[in-house]
Amino acid sequence: MGASPEDSTARWQYLDHIRKTKGPFNPPSDEDEDTPEMLDTLGKSTILVIGAGGLGCEILKNLALSGFKNIHVIDMDTIDISNLNRQFLFRKADVGKSKAEVAAAFVERRVQGVEITPHNNKIQDFDEDFYMQFQMVVCGLDSIEARRWMNATLVNMVDDDNPDSLKPMIDGGTEGFKGQTRVVFPTMTPCIECQLDLYAPRAAVPLCTLATIPRQPEHCIEWAHIIAWDQEKPFPSLDKDDPEHITWLYQTALSRAQEFNIAGVTYSLTQGVVKNIIPAIASTNAIIAASCCNEALKIATTAAPALGFEDNYMSYHGDEAIYTNTFKYEKKEDCAVCGSLSKPLEVDPRWTLQELIDSLATNASAQLKKPSIRTESKTLYMRFPQSLEEKTRPNLDKTLREGLGLEEKQEIAVTDPAFPALSFKFFLRFT
């Protein structure tokens, strides 16, 4: 494939054709969508891909082939030999290298004109300023925790005064033959936290079963992981990606299994139990990644109705026959992340904390007689338990701005034992 402009136009001819054709379901628009500027929006938007594993490899390839030109990818993992069966951007020689870097380089090489910036990091290494540069986030993650972190970050970033602060989040997930694609418009549509009930809790085995009467090979591995490791501390801290550490766990589990006549402890089972690996199927990843990327394309270009405001959740079931279902998940009113968004609270910065507390008792939207108050990083006043009350009591006489260092727009969380089901979040507005 050459690099001349003609070729490049030819390359996107069919995609552009789809984008130029107005369909009955296209959102109405004031702008003339046929202009070259309009068609170029895809090339100008910067999209973030989280995860460069099973889903991530597919997502990166699909986005590049859909016309996205500026892509960033974050993944903290290195390539393991067991990845090679489905993470097709990696070769044997890449084992041990950063997934993000190898994946980015491969797709850049293969698809001309795309620029992929790899970040060999945790998502938690970056702050809101970093995430602000993207127009959209596509997640191909295998951990609930990472999803929740990303979700909370994107919800918190939404600033009423700044349209660019709202970043659509597209989340793909697979487990064996099952998968799902979700689209979240932070603060507007149900977020990941609203849907947390969908995850079955991880089944845990009672600690005393592990300690005394193991019955399954998994029990022996968990014993080695949770109990024996702690007692013997063969290495300073457990690195689940270090083969030496897994080998230690494997051998410890194996000798315990022999003691109790339990068969089935293997190295790969040890790795699976310790890292909580769920078997991944390449084609399920491909299906889910493809649907994520089509939604990304549609949201970026408004070429067709996307998941989001009406239906927001597509589930794919390939485990018992085959069935897909797209539906509207409802927003949870009391969602811990997007449910109780903070309300403004007018305060005089020269007030003492005690005066703020007194004002909450008469404030119509609070009416709290025994409030406890915290910010994200500071415990301002806790009425219970006693030890915390004593330590935070001196704050009552301090002034909000000078004494306690509170700032305009600072968020405070207020709870009151009289209302165990409620909590209040305010952001300060200085008068």
Partner 1 sequence: MLKIWSMKKEQQKKDNDEAAAGGKKKKVTAAQLRVQKDLNELSLGSTMTTEFPDPDNILEFILTITPDEGQYTGGKFTFSFNMSASYPHEPPKVRCQQKIYHPNIDLEGKVCLNILREDWKPVLNLNAVIVGLQFLFLEPNASDPLNKEAADDLRQSRDNFRRNVKNSMAGGSIRGVQYDRVLLK
Q: Write out the binding residues for partner 1, residues 270-309 only, by CB under 8 A.
A: 299-302, 309
Closer by beta carbon to partner 1, 160 or else 244: 160
| Bridge partners, 173 (sequence order) | 180
Closer by beta carbon to partner 1, 284 or else 392: 392
Binding residues for partner 1 restricted to 309-328, rule: CB under 8 A: 309
| Peptide bond between residue 385 and the one before it cis (omega within 30 degrees of 0) | yes
For the beta carbon of residue 368, count every other beta carbon within 10 angstroms.
21
Measured between alpha carbons, how far is 285 from 172 in angstroms, rounded to an integer?
Answer: 9
DSSP class of 189: S
For every residue of 111-166, DSSP letters joined together read: STT-EEEEE-S-GGGS-HHHHTT-SEEEEE-S-HHHHHHHHHHHHHH-BTTBGGG-
Pairing of β 411-415 and β 372-374: antiparallel
3: its two tokens: 């690099």
Measured between alpha carbons, how far is 26 from 43 in angstroms, rounded to an integer?
Answer: 20
Q: What is the maximum span of the chain, computed from C-alpha positions, in angstroms? A: 75
396 makes contact with partner 1 (CB under 8 A): no
Closer by beta carbon to partner 1, 7 or else 397: 397
- For partner 1, what does the binding mask look like between residues 25 and 64, x meaning CB under 8 A? --x-x-x---------x---x-------------------
DSSP class of 24: T
121: its two tokens: 């990091």
338: its two tokens: 């997007």
423 makes contact with partner 1 (CB under 8 A): yes
Binding residues for partner 1 restricted to 154-183, rule: CB under 8 A: 155-160, 163, 166, 168
205: its two tokens: 């085995």
Instruction: Give residue 56's identity as a one-letter amino acid code.
Output: G
Span near partner 1 by CB under 8 A; candidates 2-10, 53-61, 147-155, 240-248: 147-155
Measured between alpha carbons, how far is 426 from 409 in angstroms, rounded to an integer?
Answer: 9
Span near partner 1 by CB under 8 A; candidates 254-262, 265-273, 346-354, 415-423: 415-423
Span near partner 1 by CB under 8 A; candidates 52-60, 107-115, 151-159, 236-244: 151-159
CB hemisphere CA count around 371 (13 angstroms): 28
Residue of 368, 361, 374, 347 lying closest to 430 (CA atoms): 347
Closer by beta carbon to partner 1, 104 or else 155: 155
Q: How far is the CB of 427 from partner 1 (least distance, A)?
A: 3
Closer by beta carbon to partner 1, 72 or else 99: 72
Closer by beta carbon to partner 1, 102 or else 183: 183
Choose, by CB under 8 A, the member of 344, 346, 354, 361 that binds partner 1. 344
Choose, by CB under 8 A, the member of 22, 215, 240, 409 that binds partner 1. 409
CA angle 287–288–293, rounded 5-degree value: 100
Q: How far is the CB of 157 from partner 1 (least distance, A)?
A: 8
Burial of 103 (0-12, 13-18, 19+ CB in 10 A): buried
Choose, by CB under 8 A, the member of 32, 333, 420, 431 that binds partner 1. 420
Name the catalytic one among 139, 191, 208, 220. 208
Q: How far is the CB of 336 from partner 1 (least distance, A)?
A: 3
Choose, by CB under 8 A, the member of 227, 238, 277, 290 that binds partner 1. 227
Instruction: Give residue 379's identity as a one-letter amino acid code.
Output: T
201: its two tokens: 């809790």
Choose, by CB under 8 A, the member of 185, 250, 313, 351 that binds partner 1. 185
Measured between alpha carbons, how far is 80 from 120 in angstroms, rounded to an integer?
Answer: 15
Span near partner 1 by CB under 8 A; candidates 208-216, 243-251, 274-282, 354-362: 208-216
Q: How far is the CB of 160 from partner 1 (least distance, A)?
A: 5
Residue of 113, 103, 111 lying closest to 43 (CA atoms): 113
Instruction: For residue 194, indicate whether it is catalytic.
Output: no
Choose, by CB under 8 A, the member of 135, 180, 181, 271 that binds partner 1. 135
21 makes contact with partner 1 (CB under 8 A): no
Span near partner 1 by CB under 8 A; candidates 47-55, 78-86, 95-103, 186-194: 186-194
The residues carrying an active-site annotation are: 208
